Structures are given as C-alpha cells and as structure tokens.
Structure 1
Amino acid sequence: MALWTFFGLTEGKATTPWPRRGTTDGQVGVLGMPRFAPEHCEEGCAACTEICPTGAIAPRADAPGGIAVDYGRCVVCQLCTEACPTGALSPSHDWAFGVRRREDLVWADTPAPVADPAPGQRAFRRSLHIRHVDAGSCNGCESELQALNNPFYNLHRLGIFFTPSPRFADLLLVTGPVTHAMRAPLRATWEAMPEPRWVMAIGTCAVSGGIAGGGYACGNGLDDVLPVDLYLPGCPPNPAAIIAALLTFQGRLPQRVQGGRRHAE
C-alpha cells in the first residue's frame, strides 16, 4: 500500500481538467463519424449505399447528392469512406454527438435551429443521478460507461453519479436495441423513477436499433418504448462523447450538431 501511495504522489493528479478549453479529452486520433460533402457526390454512384450495413446511407432522389445520411443509424464502421470514389464521405475525428431531437442526426441542407434544454433539465446542473439499463447491448457501450469512473475521467468531479435504484434517479440511460424481453423491465424501471424524469439513448442500437434493429428479437431502438430526451449514437460512443452528451443534457455545454453537421468549437 505504501508503494502505491508513493507512486501516486510522484505521478501527480491523473484526472483530466477537460472539458476546460485547451485540455485533453483522451480521444486524440480516434476515428469518428464520417463527414459528408454532397457536392462531391457523383451522379449514379451507389457505392456507399450498397455497402452500409445499417441503412445509415440510403438512396433518395430529393436529398443532397442523391443520398440520405442518418448518423443515428451509423455504427462508425468506416466502410463508406473506403468505398466512396470521390471523397464525398471522408474519415474524421468527430465524436458521436448528443442531440435533443432525433432529426438533428439526419443530414439536412437547411437544418432547424438547435433546441434549448427543457427548463427542468437545468435543475440538474449541480447534481445528476443516473440509472443505467442494458436493454440488450453487446456490452461495447457498457465498457465505455465503466471508463467514466476511472481516474482519468472521474465523472463524480462533475457532480454526475450512477445509482443502483431508479427511485433515486433523475435520468434513465439506456443502451442496446431494446429486445422484446427487456421492454417490460425497462418500462418498470422508468415508472419507478420520481418525476421529473428524463431518458437518454446511448449508442446507435438504442437510437435506431443498430445492426440488430428490426430483427426477430428486438425493435428499432428506444423511441418505440419510451420518450427520449437526448440521443447519442456511436458504436460505441467514447467516454468523452458520453460526458459531453450528459453536459449537453444539463445545459452546461451547447448542442454542437444541427442537421447532421457539427458546429465549430
């Protein structure tokens, strides 16, 4: 024990001061959501729509570039960026991003204004208690959630805590595509929460069903089961993206995505 105490004292503080500006988020170099530039699309090209495993990219005559891009279905596999011959879809280091409206994950020429947080959400700026429910996840999202409480991210420093009981929870955080077997337990958890209560869909599976969406065992995400207040796609979203989404929910960070496009920092 004395050795580990000495090691800790010599190494210094491990926790990042992020999201303070100019500090590291621990995700440097990590590939994120593909960037879409419809002006580079080639007429008649269907390479990206044919290879996308979840229908995140689909042909649509009236959409920019002739394709519709839905980041709520994206599993960040990068296959589209490899198949695209013109660079209309290119790799980026943009994280998955949290939005209050599902339509803000869909690429649009003229996106609607960003929605403000509901007045009740601001009450949780100093203290937010979360109940997590795995509704059929592959455990990828759970692995990232566990990292939130490691010394580097130390979620507690932001006044955000996980609770084992829904009766003490403000926010229900759901991962997985919501299998049929988990619908009743998930709804029972939500009903046990005191009002006001909020719901957040974490990961592409919870947002839209992901790879498993519409299969024999599950539906197409959380929207069919509970009202969702914040959507965070990704397969899985990294710990920094989850923290940023939680702070967006509280109104402590602005929503940085509108119509599928990320605003400048």
Structure 2
Amino acid sequence: MPAWTYRGLRGGVKTVPWPVDDVDGMTGLPEPIVDGCPDGCDLCASSCPTEAISVVGGLELDQGSCIGCNLCVEACPEGVLILPSKLTRASNDRGGLRRHVNSTEISAELVPSGDRRRLRKSLFVRHIDCGSCSGCESEISALDNPYYNLHRFGVFFTPSPRFADVLLVTGPVTNPMYEPLISTYEAMPEPKYVVATGVCAISGGTNGGGYNAHQGLEGILPVDLWVPGCPPHPIVLIDALLSLVGRGR
C-alpha cells in the first residue's frame, strides 16, 4: 500500500460535518447589538470605506456593503458594534442585510414548497464572474475540495447555462460583462434562481460604480438570494445553495 494511502486511511474523514453552526476562528460581519451611541458620534460611519454605516435616525449597518475590514468595531468607543461568534447568513431579501440595533436573525428560506420539490434531488450551478477581484472565486473553488465536498449534497457546477438551476454571480457587473450576464440568464430553463455572491455583486463594494461598472445586480436581474461577505466563507455559500432546496443550516 502506498504511504500516502496509508496516511489517508489513518487520518480518517476530514470533510466538514453538516449542519454546522460555527467555524473555529471565524466570525460574521459586524452588527450593532446595543443602543448606546453618544449624541453626535459618527466614528464608525466615518471609518467605513464603503459607506455601509448610517447614524441618521439610529445606527444601521448594511452587511450587503460591508467588506469586513472591522474598522468600525475598532473605532466604536461604546462597544455598540461587535463581531458575532457565528458566520453571517445569506438573506432572501436585500433589506434583510441592513442591520439595526437588536435586529432579528436573517432567514435564508426563499423557495416555495412546490419549487423545492422540483429541485430536491440535485442542484446545478452556473457561476459567472462579472468583474470580481477573484476573492469570491477562491472560496467558490474551495467548495469542490474534499474538506467542503459540495458534491455530497447533490450540488454540482455546470459550464452550460442550459443545464443550470442557479446563476451564481460575483463581481459588480462591469460593462463588458453586462450582455454575457443577461445572455446567460436568458439561456437558463425555468425555474431558475439568481444568487448575488459577495459584496460586489450585492452593492458594488469597493469596485462598483465609475464609468465601467454597475453597483451590483440590483436592477439588472431578479435576485433570489443575497450572500454577504468579502468574500463569503464556503460554509456560508453551502448554506445559501442548500437553502434553495430547503436544506440550509
């Protein structure tokens, strides 16, 4: 028996178990937990590079614009903003990523029961990069490795949109990728779902706007699931995809 085979058998199964609520050493995006902002304090908002924080009418943090730099947490003198102990989940509503003080947990359920039955056995995903920095791509590629092993859930990537159930979009949608994105979506059969993956696809992040890029997918395609993060953790991506067939965390 080759030495590497023997070592593999001795090591046992290393694939991450499912469902999983937390990942060692990983936290979610910042969120406000207490109503304790001093009058006139805007240190968190002024420290945010993507203008994800508003203090007008009460503290609000948009996790769909947050790149997870955590400068706001460091700047807050009152401990109003924290890093939660669990990874941030996807939302079926864009507004669900806008977090207020004492806001409730985001739900990732979105697909009506009839459509869930149609997608229950397998899920085929077409990924399209619309100007990403490749950070999201590195996490998406990790889904195929033995540790995350997306295939065990019956979820597979396909190169053809004609076989795809889900369009997984990354990047802020640059102008050269606008037409290929629309063509890919139109080539998909019904029922089809669009997942905005990462802050760039949600709101443009640090790369959206300007003369050559949009501010994410909003207003371009009907988005069924918004996956926050810069980039999203593979566990968050698995949870989001499985929520389409009613098997999320």
TM-score (norm: length of structure 2): 0.91
What is the aligned-residue identity percentage? Answer: 50
How far did 1:141 drift? 0.4
Deviations 1:180-231 (A, max 9, x none): 1110011111111111111001101101111122222211101121110000
SS of aligned partner of 1:13: coil
Structure 2 residue 103 is matched with structure 1 residue 117:
no
Q: 3-state DSSP class of the match of 2:25? A: coil
Distance in 2 of aligned mates of 1:104 and 1:233: 11
Q: Distance in 2 between matches of 1:41 and 1:243?
A: 36
The alpha carbon displacement at 1:94 in A equals 3.0
Q: What residue number does 1:210 align with?
A: 205
How far apart in 1 are the matches of 2:65 and 2:122?
31
Is residue 227 of structure 1 aligned with residue 222 of structure 2? yes
| 8 Å contact kept, 1:15–1:151 | yes
Task: Tell me if structure 1 keeps the 8 A contact 2:136–2:230.
Answer: yes
Summarize the Cα distance change of 1:144–1:89 in structure 2 as closer, same or farther, 3 Å threshold: same
The 2-side partners of 1:112 and 1:16 are apart by 24
User: Could you tell me how far 1:87 is from its partner in structure 2?
Assistant: 0.5
CA positional deviation for 1:35:
2.5
Q: Which residue of 2 aligns with 1:44?
A: 40
Q: Superposition pairs for residues 51-70 of structure 1, below 5 Å?
A: 51-61=47-57, 66-70=58-62
Structure 1 unpaired stretches of 5+ = 255-265
What are the Cα deviations for residues 111-160 of structure 1, in whole angstroms up to 9, with x where unaligned?
A: 79956423314422220000000010000000001111111111000110
How far is the alpha carbon of 1:17 from its aligned partner? 2.3
SS at match of 2:156: strand
Cα distance between partner residues in 1 of 2:192 and 2:237: 19
- AA in 2 matched with 1:176: G
Contact 1:175 1:202 in 2 (8 A): yes
Q: Is residue 232 of structure 2 the alignment partner of residue 237 of structure 1?
A: yes
Give the number of aligned pairs: 246
Within a 5 Å distance, the mapping from 1:178-197 to structure 2 comes to 178-197=173-192
The amino acid of 1:86's aligned partner reads E
Q: 1:212 to 1:100 in 2, by over 3 A?
A: same
Q: Which has the higher helix share?
A: 1
Mapping for residues 125-136 of structure 1, pairs under 5 Å: 125-136=120-131
Other-structure match for 2:87: 95
Preserved CA contact (<8 Å) 2:140 2:234: yes
9-18 vs 105-114, greater mean Cα deviation: 105-114
CA distance in 1, matches of 2:106, 2:202: 21
* Mapped partners of 2:75, 2:14: distance in 1: 40
Alpha-carbon distance between aligned partners in 2 of 1:227 and 1:86, rounded to the nearest angstrom: 39
What corresponds to 1:263 in structure 2? Answer: none
- Is this contact kept in 2: 1:129–1:162, CA < 8 A? yes
Q: Secondary structure at the match of 1:199?
A: strand
Taking structure 1 as the reference length, what is the TM-score of the superposition? 0.86
- The match for 1:15 is 15
| Residue 20 (structure 1) shift | 5.8
Contact 2:48 2:71 in 1 (8 A): yes
Residues of 1 paired with 2:95 and 2:117: CA distance?
Answer: 23
User: Which residue of structure 2 aligns with residue 75 of structure 1?
Assistant: 67
